[in-house]
Structure 1
């Protein structure tokens, strides 16, 4: 029996954000090969993750469309997996080199220059583990960009974004915010209102999703196998 892939992320009220997430799920569906690919949401949108798991059967792997650890969603994922031995949870999408490469692409698209001061901004960090993930993402971005990257957080633990921007402005260069958000939404909108000289688009921009994001999602699904199943989730 083939594994069903459940692609699950935070919902959003943003039409642009919803379209971007739907495009990513559809692209994963087209490239998955044989497994059925369905979408689910932790909040805001339907169907909910709990409903999708309850209405499906057989081996299933949940691919969380998360860029860093999140206490609330981690608890939901653990609870769902604990209730059904045929449900497994893949690693979150980030941090990852792929996201750093796409982040640099967004910087270039936004017109960032080597002389600019870069600040990676995340909408939220709800604890030390989330902050560690975001800090790692910034280090990866720095390595690909080839220059220092500061870190700011809109809400939660870590350096408040206002402080991070103040430090960045002290360099007397243009300040460019690298948006560490998957798609447009309330958190991404807050980042866009920060008053930086330049703000990048989310990792999921307009149009078709970057093929590297699709591959990353499928690789996350491949990580796990189920007893008695031959091959990976995408074969």
Structure 2
């Protein structure tokens, strides 16, 4: 029996976002002949991750398709995994060097220049751990880009994106938002309206998924680190590496 790989993401209410996620799942399925790849969600779409755990059997690995820590999502995923000791939860996708490399490619494709002011824009960072993850993502992007990267989020204790864009204007240069989102949707629309001169595409934009992103998912699936075990605080497992 093949091991089952459960790719778990936030659901999307936008058809383009749903199609982009399906494209990633299909790309992983094509590359992972030794794995049974299925999708799951924590909201907005079905099937929910708890249902998928109950409907599958044998060794399963849940890969959270999260770019930064999200405690409510983490709790939902780990609680689902506790229903069967054969289920493990891997580290989430981000932050990671691979995402930084793709982020820089998106900047180049959008026409960003070395003298632009770059703002990494993330969805809501709900607590200090999420803020730390977003900050790490910005540092990785900065290292690959070769210049300073500011941070703005759509909620939480970190700097609001609109404020970050306003502060970036003080440098007297173009402001380019580097989108730190997996798919398009309401969050990306908000980023587009934040007042930047340029906003990059999300990691999944409806076209073929970047092979590096597919490889990152499979690296998470086959890693031994970041797994969850029953009986522990579900808020402690989904640690980015």
Output the TM-score relative to the length of structure 2.
Answer: 0.91
Counterpart in the other structure of 1:216 = 216
Whether 2:96 is the aligned partner of 1:105: answer no
The two structures have a TM-score, normalised by structure 1, of 0.94
Deviates more, 1:2-11 or 1:92-101: 2-11
Matched with 2:141 is 141
1:116-168 Cα offsets, whole Å, 9 max, x none, are 00000112101000000000000000000000000001111211112211210
Q: How many residues align?
A: 226
Secondary structure of 2:23's counterpart equals: helix
Question: Any gaps of 5 or more consecutive residues in structure 2?
Answer: 228-241
Partner Cα distance (2:203, 2:161) in 1: 19
3-state secondary structure, aligned to 1:152:
strand
Q: What stretches of structure 1 move > 2 A for 4+ residues in a row?
A: none
1:87 aligns with 2:90: no
Query: Does the residue aligned with 2:123 lie in a helix, a strand or coil?
Result: strand
CA distance in structure 1 between the aligned counterparts of 2:169 and 2:17, rounded to whole angstroms = 30
For the residues of structure 2 that align with 1:156 and 1:186, how far apart are their CA atoms? 17
**Equivalents in 2 of 1:202, 1:57: separation in Å?**
33
Matches within 5 A, 1:53-68: 53-68=53-68
- Name 2:235's counterpart in structure 1: none
SS across alignment from 1:66: coil
Structure 1 residue runs of 5 or longer lacking an equivalent are: 227-235
**Aligned-partner Cα distance in 2 for 1:62–1:186:** 26
CA distance in structure 1 between the aligned counterparts of 2:58 and 2:193, rounded to whole angstroms: 45
Separation in 1, partners of 2:157, 2:181: 17
Offset at 1:14?
A: 1.1
Give the secondary-structure state (helix, strand or coil) at the position aligned to 1:135.
helix
